[in-house]
Amino acid sequence: MRSFLLNFSGYKILERIGSIAYKLELPNDTSIHPVFHVSQLKKLVGEHTNIQPTIQYVNENYEWKAKPEEVLGYQKNKAGSWEVLLCWEGLPRHEATWEIYEDMQWLYPDLHLEDKVIPMAATDNYKLVEELIDHMSGIDEKQLVLYAQMGTLVNLILQWPEMNVKEIAVNFSKLACNAHTICDSELRPLGTGLYPVISIINHSCLPNAVLVFEGRSAVVRAVQHIPPGAEVSISYIETAGSTMTRQKTLKENYLFTCTCSRCVKAQEDEIKESAILEGYRCTNDQCAGFLLRNSDDTGFTCQQCGLVRSKEDIKNIASQIKSISDEASTSMSSQNYAEALFMHEKVEKLQKILCHPYSISLMQTREKLLKISMELENWTKALTYCKLTISVYQKLYPGIHPLLGLQFYTCGKLEWLVVHQDVSFTSPSLLLLGHTEDSLKSYTKAFDILRITHGTNSSFMKELLQKLEEARAEASYKRSSIDDE
């Protein structure tokens, strides 16, 4: 840049003024002020008669009097030094210049450049991060050491001027306690984001609102009527679990104990919930009772029919499940879906003997079987497992919950695929109509839930509405065809 300016219309640069202006050696008889902004010299080279001097930004001693107003970005130059893109007071943003960060600190010691960063939105403000709770006092020594090591590593990589390792460690803790997993419309995780305003919302295991993401934006939607003055709450964790499991997860990840209405239930109800969701089934196939440990610790007694199940029986089946599950995981890792399906079906068979029908472990196995069957394009088998999971979802989640809505959506798509997979000249019309109407019912249930949790304007919801209308039209056509027969 300097070599370019040295040749500007033959005028010599006498000195650089501030960061973005130069004083030129002009003829004594000229009436033009000698101080020019660098962007003017670049744009109007060869047209010096049209250049307007920047006299309004210098004092009588030719000292630059403008100050940095906004920071537009940071970068490392080829020499390894940090540069900052500055927009100057009184100048348009397109005339921003890259300056050496350390030079700016020296020239403007009272100016905190980090406070000049332009937020991308009203809530994209680092000062909000500073106000977040870090829970450093509640972190154990092992975790503190880990954060300190991570802070040191960040310092070594970035080599940012005046970087504070302790501050980095505190920010890691804030991130762990306040960050949210960013998911797509089908709740598949994409990454992690820190939304300071959303972090203000407290957790409940029975929340009245749900957090979803639309691109980079976090959106909170009410899933029930919230009276004026009532607190809005969302769930920080997966709520399908016993109180003990949920409390353990919250304590480990967010360092607090939940006292919501679901967590402070009577001890008797808590024990029953845990026995159903994470316990064993009665040996009597016709009994739906739950089991509790005997006082002498020799086995588990059904609380409905009184039958006792021995610890040895439970231990033996649990051991088989673990062994086969390990093999199934290996098959999944190698993408051997046929073998993984076979192994997980063996696990499910054993879990049906061991676990309560509403067991979370059994439900999770069926979720895996659903996904594997879809990978293998076995729509009929996938539909069977999808329906089995829905009955448990309805037990675990409230009526308006995104996971329940998404499972109904999956069920509708599978029912639709089964209909069109089985279409043949010999297929009974009533059978095909039944499958189509099942798909229509599932799509309708999905839409009724997801329009509340996801809104109706996203491409995801428009696609669901399109499938719903398509199923409705086909069901209507098939009904009229049967009536004409």
Spans of all domains in the chain = 1-56, 62-115, 122-254, 280-386, 397-484
- In 112-267, at which residue ranges do the beta strands (DSSP E only) sit? 180-183, 189-193, 202-203, 209-214, 217-222, 233-234
Give which of 242, 241, 224 is closest to 233, Cα–Cα.
224
Question: What whole-number distance in Å separates Cα of residue 181 and Cα of residue 183?
Answer: 6
Question: What whole-number distance in Å separates Cα of residue 105 and Cα of residue 113?
Answer: 8
pLDDT of the chain along its 485 residues, tens only?
343 344 444 556 666 655 556 566 666 665 555 555 544 444 444 444 444 444 445 555 555 556 787 777 777 788 877 788 888 777 777 778 888 877 777 777 766 655 545 455 555 667 777 788 888 888 888 888 888 888 888 888 877 766 788 888 888 888 888 888 999 999 999 999 888 889 889 999 999 999 999 988 899 999 999 999 999 999 999 999 999 999 999 998 888 899 999 998 878 888 999 999 999 999 998 998 999 999 888 899 999 999 999 999 999 999 999 999 999 999 999 999 999 999 999 999 999 999 999 999 999 999 999 999 999 999 999 999 999 999 999 999 999 999 999 999 999 999 999 887 754 434 445 445 567 899 999 999 999 999 999 999 999 999 999 999 999 998 888 777 766 55
The pLDDT, as a whole number, for residue 330 is 95
Q: Provide CB contacts within 8 A for 374, sequence distance 6+.
A: 382, 414
Backbone torsion region of residue 25, taken as left when φ is above 0, otherwise alpha when ψ lies between -120 and 50, otherwise beta:
beta
The pLDDT, as a whole number, for residue 43 is 45
Give which of 31, 76, 73 is closest to 51, Cα–Cα.
31
Do the beta carbons of residue 21 and residue 54 sit within 8 Å? yes
Question: Dihedral (C-alpha) 448, 449, 450, 454: value to the nearest 10 degrees?
Answer: 110
Do the beta carbons of residue 250 and residue 260 sit within 8 Å? no
Fold (CATH) for 280-386? 1.25.40
- Check for a shared fold between 280-386 and 397-484: yes
Question: What whole-number distance in Å separates Cα of residue 78 and Cα of residue 255?
Answer: 43
User: Is 397-484 CATH 1.25.40.10?
Assistant: yes
The backbone torsions φ and ψ at residue 68, rounded to the nearest 5 degrees and listed phi first, read -60, 135
User: Is 62-115 CATH 3.40.640.10?
Assistant: no
The pLDDT, as a whole number, for residue 101 is 79
With both helix axes pointing from N to C terminus, report the angle between 459-484 and 402-421 in degrees, rounded to the nearest 10: 40
Fold (CATH) for 122-254? Beta-clip-like (2.170.270)
The pLDDT, as a whole number, for residue 28 is 64
Do the beta carbons of residue 17 and residue 64 sit within 8 Å? yes
The pLDDT, as a whole number, for residue 91 is 75
Report strand pairing: 180-183 vs 299-302: unpaired
